[in-house]
Amino acid sequence: MSQRTGRIALLIVTLLTTASVIPLTGCSTGGQQGDQATPTPIPTPIIPTKPIYVVALGDVVKRIDFTGRVAPVIEQELFFRASGYVDAVYFKRNDLVEEGELLAELEVTDLKNALAQAEAALATTIANNDERLAEASASLAATELRLAQAMAQDPSPQVTIARVNVERAQRGVEDAEEAHQQVVDQYWRRDLEEALEAAARRIHEAEQNVVVAQAHLKQAEQAVEVHAYAIQILEHEVELANLRLEQVKSGLTVEEMRLHVERLTAQLDDAQIVAPFDGVLLSVGLVEGRAVEAYRPVLVIADPSELEVSADLTDRQMRDLVEGMPAVASPVSSPGDEVPATIRRLPYPYGGGGRSQGVGEEDKSTRVSLDVEFGTTGFELGDLVRVTVVLELKENVLWLPPQAVRTFEGRRFVVVQDGDVQRRVDVKIGIRGEDRTEIEEGLSEGDIILGQ
């Protein structure tokens, strides 16, 4: 039995029961006809109407909306590298500071005095060494010039010339011997004896030429060896001159004094906080006269020229986001002023960011850069911003409100009103937006759907 049929049956039973009670009431003893009670009418049951939806064509957008605040892109925690008592704080919160400005320092009066004395003593010692330094530098320069001059006088080419002369002299001996043999073969000549003597003299002269050429070659090779020794000696002298110069530059007394100054300077640096870049102080946690611990953050500086949106998102939201994804940002106070934006960083493990580079805890915020030139957006540090990221967009598709689609045991269906007939129709859905769900299969444009 349907719900509607049950309500009708209940109404009939109620009417019959009421009809049977009325006569009994009218015949009761002791009562007058004018005093008979009027029966209470039964209220008409209110049947709730169900919402009706029409399948339409349009755009379906799946997006994520979240809220964040305008924060600086570059932000850094500052701290002392030594423990002590705060002597002076030179700036307050929201003050603009320049790179290199001294922001705060500990009580270091004795250290400053010691450093000043050490620097004065070092300057005096260095001045006394200037004359010796000049002499050592001149000696090194002269030695280097002699080395360069010696290297320019390389005798190696003379060895090549001498070897060529030896080869020529040896060929001269061969030519003289061949000429002597030709004379021997002319035994019929009348002046044979004189010709043989002349040929023998030419052989002897050629052999002497070979001896001379070989001697010249030997001399050239010896000159090369002597030149190499001279180069080595001069190179050694250059090394000695360099050593003497370095000894003058970093004499034991000067070096010790310089190291002492460096140690004092490092101690002074540890007791001071200097602005690492031009920016604004977002936080100042220092009070003059109070003790502070080393490496504990006490100041926060930021660069106000580069702003972005910082937001804390849920894991469910971050699962759908990717670094580099486009977005749109608008101030909460002025929703119509939209500017393009980009998901710049997601915290680990959803992106590569979030690893702390300072002494603070890991940064788990999502950062959204504003893709406009600074100063043209109207955003101010700390403003509340609404960010919208379109995950997926389909144009001119069938859609219904999400509440029109029913689910039962994994089955998705809708109730279609077809004239006086209602029927269930299975549907396949696509992307689901905040107020629209894409219908991929099962329905047509104009179909009437009953809500729940």
Does 255 fall in a domain?
no
Q: Considering only 58-72, 124-138, 275-289, 387-401, which range has the smallest mean pLDDT? A: 124-138
- Given pLDDT bands bounded at 50, 70 and 90, which one contains residue 376? low
Does 383 fall in a domain?
yes
CATH number at residue 98: 2.40.50.100
| Residue 352: predicted pLDDT | 77
Assess whether pLDDT exceeds 80 at residue 368: yes
* pTM > 0.75: no
**3-class DSSP state of 107:** coil
With the C-alpha atoms ordered 245, 247, 253, 257, is the resulting torsion angle positive or negative? positive
Residues 362 and 425 placed together within one structural domain of the fold = yes
Does 61 fall in a domain?
no
Does 59 fall in a domain?
no
Residues 152 and 188 placed together within one structural domain of the fold = yes
Residues 138-143, mean pLDDT to the nearest whole number:
88
Residues 323 and 431 placed together within one structural domain of the fold = yes
Instruction: Note whether 317 and 67 are within 8 A (CB).
Output: no
| Residue 17: predicted pLDDT | 38
The token pair at 90 is: 């030179």
Residues 313 and 290 placed together within one structural domain of the fold = no
Residues 312 and 444 placed together within one structural domain of the fold = yes
Residues 297 and 311 placed together within one structural domain of the fold = no
Residues 418-423, mean pLDDT to the nearest whole number:
91
Predicted confidence (pLDDT) per residue in 280-329, tens digit:
999 999 999 999 999 999 999 999 888 899 999 999 999 999 999 999 99
Residues 339 and 353 placed together within one structural domain of the fold = yes
Domain range for 282 is 75-106+273-302
DSSP 410-427: TEEEEEEEETTEEEEEE-
| Residue 34: predicted pLDDT | 45
More confident residue, 126 or 271: 271
- Given pLDDT bands bounded at 50, 70 and 90, which one contains residue 362? low
DSSP 122-157: HHHHHHHTHHHHHHHHHHHHHHHHHHHHHHHS--HH
Residues 286 and 355 placed together within one structural domain of the fold = no
- How many domains does the chain divide into? 4
Average pLDDT of the chain, as a whole number:
83
Residues 353 and 320 placed together within one structural domain of the fold = yes
Residues 185 and 232 placed together within one structural domain of the fold = yes
- Given pLDDT bands bounded at 50, 70 and 90, which one contains residue 25? very low
Assess whether pLDDT exceeds 90 at residue 208: yes
DSSP code at position 251: -
CA-to-CA distance for 211 and 218, rounded, in angstroms?
Answer: 11
Residues 221 and 279 placed together within one structural domain of the fold = no
CATH number at residue 434: 2.40.420.20
Residue of 390, 381, 433 whose CA lies nearest to 96: 381
Residues 216-221, mean pLDDT to the nearest whole number:
90
Residue of 377, 268, 272, 300 whose CA lies nearest to 97: 300
Instruction: Note whether 404 and 53 are within 8 A (CB).
Output: yes
CA-to-CA distance for 131 and 18, rounded, in angstroms?
Answer: 132
